[in-house]
Amino acid sequence: NSTSRMVIGAVAGAIFITVACKKTEDPGSTITQDTTPYMLKTGDFPPPQIATDNALTVQGVKLGRMLFYENMLSRDGSQNCGTCHRQKHAFSDTNQFSIGVDGFPGGRQAMAVFNMAWNTNEFFWDGRAHLLRDQSLKPIQDSLEMAETLDNVVAKLSATQMYRDQFMRVFGSEDITSHKMSLAMEQFMNSIVSVDSKWDRFERGEVTLTPSEQRGRKLFFTEYNQFFPDSSGADCAHCHSPKNFANNQYMNNGLDTDASVLDDIGREKVTMNPMDRGKMKVPSLRNIALTAPYMSDGRFTTLEQVVDHYNNGLNSSATLDPALANTMTTGLMLNAQEKADLIAFLKTFTDETLMTNPEYSDPF
C-alpha cells in the first residue's frame, strides 16, 4: 500500500544519506584520533626495530600512502614519490637517472623502496639521511627532483579538508607540519615489505628450485677459492646475505679507479673520511630482476653485465673491498653456464606480491 511505500522510501532515503555522508565526510563532523595499530606482515623475517616514537598505525600508514602519491608535494603538481619509485618495478625507477619537474636528471639511480623497516644504517646511497623520516622530505626540496618548499607543501595540504581530517585521525590535530608529514611517510614506507618471493617459498619447503636455480644457489653461497677453481663460487653472500640479501654496510665494489671515482666520492661526502671514498650503501638483491638499471650510477642495464663486472671487470682503488680485491688475480672464473645459473637464482628473489599488493598502490 501507499503507506508501506512511503516507509520504504523514507528508509531508503535515510540509507542513501548515511552512505553519502560516510563517503564524503561532513567538514563539520567530529573526527577523532585513531591509534589502531597496523599489523606489519613480516613473513619469515625477524621483527624489525620500528622507531618507538613512530609506531605504525592504520591511519598513519594510510596518510603516508596518500602523501607518497600526492602531486602537491611537487612544485608544479606533476610528480609524487611514486613517479620515481614505481610499484611494478619494486618501487625503483627504470630510468638511469630520474627526471625532475624541470626536466633535469638526478645525480644517482633511484634506490628501491621496500623492507625499509629492517634498514639500520642511514638512507640514500651515501647515507646522508639518518632516519627514513629525514629521507622522505629531501626529494621534495631537491631542485633536481620535486623542487618545492616544505612551507608551500604544508600550505597546499592545509587548504584541503581531506588532509586536515586525515592528520586529525593520525595526530589528534588538524595542524599540518612537515615533521608530521615525514612521520606519516616513514610509516608508509616501513609498511612496504618484500617477504614472499620464490626463494622465501623455497625456504619454507613450499616449492622446489629448477636445476639451474639450484646450481646458481650453490654458486651464490660458495666462497671464492683461487686454488681450487672447480669448487670455487661467486661468493655473493659476502655482501648480500639473507634474509634481506644486504648487509647494511657501505662498500667500494670496484666500479672506478681512484682517478675516475672523483666524479662521485660516495660516502666520503657525508663522513669526510678519505677511507670512505667511492663507498656506497650495499643494496638488497631482492627483486633485482625488476630494478634495472644497476649500481648507483645506473651504468649496467642487465644482470649479465653486473655478473660480468664481478667476474672479471673490477677496478682497483685504495678503498676497494678487500674480499673483492682478493679475486682480481683470477676473476671469479665463472663460465657462461655458471653465469646463467647465477642469474637464474637471482631471479628467484622476485616478489610478485610486492608488485601487485593493493595496499601499496596509488589511492587516488
pLDDT, mean of residues 118-146:
97
Burial class (CB in 10 A: 0-12, 13-18, 19+), 129: middle
Name beta bridge partners: 241: 246
Name beta bridge partners: 92: 86
Residue type, position 343, single letter: I
pLDDT, mean of residues 352-357:
96
> Does 340 have pLDDT greater than 60?
yes
> Does 173 have pLDDT greater than 60?
yes
Split at pLDDT 50, 70, 90, the class of 56 is very high
Give tens-digit pLDDT for 282-294: 999 999 999 999 9
Report long-range pairs for 160-168 (Cβ below 8 Å, ≥24 apart).
160/72, 161/27, 163/66, 165/25, 165/31, 166/59, 166/62, 166/63, 166/66, 167/63, 168/31, 168/32, 168/33
Give tens-digit pLDDT for 219-274: 999 999 999 999 999 999 999 999 999 999 999 999 999 988 778 999 999 999 99
Give tens-digit pLDDT for 4-48: 443 334 444 443 334 333 334 445 568 999 999 999 999 999 999
> Does 88 have pLDDT greater than 80?
yes
How far apart CA 25 and CA 95 sit, in angstroms, is: 40
How far apart CA 181 and CA 183 sit, in angstroms, is: 5
How far apart CA 147 and CA 102 sit, in angstroms, is: 8
Residue 333 contacts residue 232 (beta carbons within 8 Å):
yes
Q: What is the CA radius of gyration of the chain?
A: 24
CA nearest neighbour of 353 among 345, 342, 361, 363: 361
Residue 316 contacts residue 304 (beta carbons within 8 Å):
no
The share of the chain scoring above pLDDT 90, in percent, equals: 90
How far apart CA 123 and CA 356 sit, in angstroms, is: 25
Split at pLDDT 50, 70, 90, the class of 199 is very high
How far apart CA 288 and CA 267 sit, in angstroms, is: 23
Looking at every residue in the chain, the average pLDDT score rounds to 92
